[in-house]
Amino acid sequence: MEKIYLDHAATSPMHPDVIQTMSDVMTETFGNPSSIHSFGRVAHEKLETAREVIAKSLAVKPHEIIFNSGGTEGDNTAIMETALARQAGGKHLITTKIEHPAVLKTMRYLETLGFEVTFLDVDEQGHLRLDQFDAALRDDTILVSIMYGNNETGNLMPIKEIGERLADHPAYFHTDAVQAYGNQTIRPQELGIDLLSISAHKINGPKGVGFLYKRDGVDLPPLLHGGEQEEKRRAGTENLAGICGLAKAVQLLTPTERAKRAADYQTFTATILTALKENEIEFSVNGDLEQKLPHVLNLRFNGIINDLLLMKLDLKGVAVSTGSACTAGTVDPSHVLEALYGKSSPAIKESLRISFGLGNTQAQIERFSETLVTVIKELKKN
């Protein structure tokens, strides 16, 4: 039985070309990029070439890219160091209730240090109301952190509109773009973004590597102290193989490839929804189908407990999710769905996240749709 992986929002398989690139680097370029001898110079050249590739993908300067261990470190650096470095100008921060835990828990920690955080609500479709943002923005607001696209519903946030509102405001604007980078065209300078976090393993790169975009002019102390790597902005010997793997993954996601994947994912979504409707399965979509990341689909099946549904699908060789991988394995309900519907809504226990990516085919989606319908009918019968 061929297994079907539909949890790419949690992590994605590494592209074979990425694996080959990393293998070559580990075999041939073991020097420390900070060393001044020939081995170090070769490693340093590869490091800077990767930086140029990634900077080009965002249309920013290579100097503005800081390599790190991934999205969590990027989020923590952007939020913690902005708060601590700028608190003389104010101690107010703004975020939303549907952020990744790397943002939410960092914000909660800052509250214990005396900072005030406004957690903005979203409506039942997962949209952030800009009038609520306007009401929350204050003279003493020093940071706004709002994700580019939600990891559970796929909803796209109004990043451009928020950037415009902050154009003449001293607050820094950070976005966790971990789910969006690779399928959206992101231009931080055009959008007014000051800080942006990315993880390689969401775009068919390796785990444990990513980067933080930091606009020139944004003055932040490093989160990690030690050596003088990354121009003294992030201590620790760079993970050269991982960084080169990240750069290769970025190169593979050409505009043509992104457009093809987006079209495929739209077809996959239509296939699943059509199968459910034709078989008269009672369901609803969590989030907004018209304003979301193409690879994420979150569905509610009325009366079906999602943990049981996930287990039944897993036994049939299908991998999906009930929410963020960072909260999987716990009994905590989805904080994203709680924000949409309220903590007492049955939708929280009846929802499933399906996410597409490299290796998925139309034949797989058709078999998944048939399996999903069969399992739901069995559960309804029982």
Q: Does residue 93 contact residue 111 with C-beta atoms inside 8 Å?
A: no
Q: Does residue 184 contact residue 157 with C-beta atoms inside 8 Å?
A: no
Looking from the CA of 211 toward its CB, the CA atoms found within 13 Å total 31
- Each residue of 299-316: pLDDT tens digit? 999 999 999 999 999 999
The CA radius of gyration of the chain, in Å to the nearest whole number, is 21
Average pLDDT over residues 6-12: 98
Q: What is the CATH number of the domain that holds 68?
A: 3.40.640.10
310 in the same domain as 232: no
Token pair for 129: 């109301």
d(CA 129, CA 96): 11
Decide the pairing of beta strands 4-5 and 318-319: parallel
pLDDT surpassing 70 at residue 327: no
- Closest by CA position to 36, among listed 25, 44, 28, 48: 44
d(CA 141, CA 156): 23
344 in the same domain as 262: yes
Token pair for 281: 């399965």
pLDDT surpassing 60 at residue 250: yes
pLDDT for the residue numbered 138: 98
74 in the same domain as 203: yes
Average pLDDT of the chain is: 96
Token pair for 377: 């009918």
**Is 244 known to be catalytic?**
no
d(CA 174, CA 95): 10
163 in the same domain as 135: yes
212 in the same domain as 242: yes
Decide the pairing of beta strands 4-5 and 92-96: unpaired
- Give, as one character, the DSSP assignment of residue 357: -
- Each residue of 264-312: pLDDT tens digit? 999 999 999 999 999 999 999 999 999 999 999 999 999 999 999 999 9
291 in the same domain as 186: no
Average pLDDT over residues 197-206: 98
User: End of a domain among 207, 222, 252?
Assistant: 252
Q: pTM of the full predicted structure?
A: 0.95
User: End of a domain among 198, 224, 252?
Assistant: 252
- Each residue of 209-229: pLDDT tens digit? 999 999 999 999 999 999 999
pLDDT for the residue numbered 381: 86
SS3 category, 227: coil
303 in the same domain as 162: no
178 in the same domain as 33: yes
**Candidates 26, 191, 326, 358; catalytic one:** 326
Average pLDDT over residues 11-15: 98
pLDDT surpassing 60 at residue 79: yes
Q: What is the CATH number of the domain that holds 318?
A: 3.90.1150.10
pLDDT for the residue numbered 45: 98
pLDDT surpassing 90 at residue 324: no
243 in the same domain as 284: no
Task: Say what the alpha-carbon torsion angle 144, 130, 190, 147 is, to the nearest 10 degrees.
Answer: 50
pLDDT surpassing 60 at residue 330: no
273 in the same domain as 239: no
pLDDT for the residue numbered 329: 53
Q: Which domain holds residue 323?
A: 4-13+255-381
Sign, CA torsion 182/186/187/188: negative
User: End of a domain among 199, 218, 252?
Assistant: 252
Average pLDDT over residues 57-86: 98
343 in the same domain as 245: no
Token pair for 107: 């914000």
- Closest by CA position to 181, among listed 58, 289, 96: 58
- Closest by CA position to 209, among listed 310, 72, 92: 72
Single-letter code of the amino acid located at 198: I
d(CA 309, CA 271): 19
Task: Say what the alpha-carbon torsion angle 268, 271, 272, 273 is, to the nearest 10 degrees.
Answer: 120
262 in the same domain as 243: no
